[in-house]
Structure formats: structure tokens, C-alpha cells
Amino acid sequence: MMVTSPGLVPDAPSRPAPAPPRRRRVPLWRRLLAAVLGLALVCGAVYVQTFVLDADRLRAPLTVSGGMHDELVTDTFSARLERVEFARTIRIKKTYATDEATTDRIFMIVKVGATAPRRPVQLAAYLLTADGLRFDPTDRVPPGATFSDKWVQPGWWRSGLYFFDVPKERVAGARVVVREPQTLFGDDWVSEVSADLGLDAAEAGRMISAAKDVYEVTG
């Protein structure tokens, strides 16, 4: 018989502490699968980054390239390089006067044909040399005598001239780039065509030596 003191509760029998929960072991194949999927996601993210254009590339034009007489087609116009000539003097014949532009370099006269698929367009041009220099058309020939002042109508081919004043040593390997003029609030993604003049050093030298003394144009 157990004797207890008044007011005292007998001690409860002690119980063993619960065992800690056992960690469930992840199968090896699941760990390998998770690692492979993680690696695939990382590689995919890196690959997608190759399609993200930086600011300069977003503003870059959409260029269609070709050679002499090739019809180069964009969404807004088509153009072809029809003829290239050289002259030492440009004579601009007007209604009541005649002006002459001379240079100590050489005038390159480029004839371009163009048409448009949907809406009338005006086209600008520049000369791009083999070493990356850019020459805009000379301002010594009035715009009225050049193709830049003409409208190209849908469904009709029209031809015109661009005049460049360039150093003779820059002619070989040059290209003519034709594009719609960029406006202040226009689309940066402008279509353009780039036509190779097909002039190596020998051919450029031959054509410059045979340059016309005077090239006449109506301004």
C-alpha cells in the first residue's frame, strides 16, 4: 500500500520522449531530374537573351543588299541601281541661267530606279565607302535636279539621279544606300536597300580616268 502525504499528487509514470520524425529520402532519379530541368531553364534564359535587341539595334534599319541592276525589294519600296558615271563638273541648266559646280575630287552620278507597292514615297540616298565613311549627296546640285525631290508612285517605275562629291581614292568598294527619309517623329525602323557598285580598284581607276569633263542636268 502506497502512502502519500496530504495535498500531494503522486508522480505520473514517465513516458519515453517521442522519436524525431524521419526525413523522407528523395530518390536519386528525382534529384537528377530536378538538376537537369534547372540547367535547361538557365540555358533557355541565356538563349532567349540573344533575341533581345539593344537600343542601337532597335534603331537599326532593315537592309536589303544586292548589286548593280538587282531589284531590291522592301515592304515600302523597291529600287535598283541602273547606272554609275563620273564627271569633273556638273552644269545645271535652269530656265534663265546656267550654274556650274566643280570639284578637286570627283563627282559620282548614280541613276536609281524605284517603285512603291502601296503608297507614294520619296527616297533619300547616301554613299557608303569600303572603310565605312558616309557621303551624303552634294548640296551643290539643287534638289530639283535630283531623285530626292521626286515622288515615286505605286505601280510605276521612276528613275532619277543622285550626285556625290567624293575623294577618288574612296570610290573602290563603295555602295549606294537608298531609303525613305527619317522624320522627327517617324519610325526608327526604316527600310533601306544597299547596292554594291561593283567597282574594284582597277575598275574605279578606269572609270575615273574616263570621267566626263562636263555633265549637264536640268535643275
For residue 14, the model assigns a pLDDT of 57
pLDDT given at position 97: 85
**Cα–Cα dist 187/5, whole Å:** 99
Q: Is residue 38 part of a domain?
A: no
Q: How many domains does the chain have?
A: 1
Cα separation, 26 vs 43, in Å, equals: 25
pLDDT tens sequence for the chain (219 residues): 444 445 545 555 556 556 555 666 666 666 666 666 767 665 555 554 444 444 444 444 578 999 999 999 999 999 999 999 999 999 999 888 899 999 999 999 999 999 999 999 999 999 999 999 999 999 999 999 999 999 999 999 999 999 999 999 999 999 999 998 876 555 556 789 999 999 999 999 999 999 999 999 987
Full domain range(s) for residue 212: 60-218
CATH number at residue 181: 2.60.40.1240
In a domain, 190, yes or no: yes
Asked, for residue 127, whether it belongs to a domain, the answer is yes
Asked if the structure places residue 48 within a domain, the reply is no
Instruction: Please indicate, yes or no, if residue 25 is contained in any of the structural domains.
Output: no
Q: Check the CA dihedral 175-157-136-145 and report its sign.
A: positive
Q: Is residue 54 part of a domain?
A: no
Asked if the structure places residue 141 within a domain, the reply is yes
If phi over 0 gives left and psi between -120 and 50 gives alpha, with beta otherwise, what is residue 132? Answer: left
pTM: 0.70
In a domain? residue 118:
yes
Distance CA 201, CA 58 (A): 35
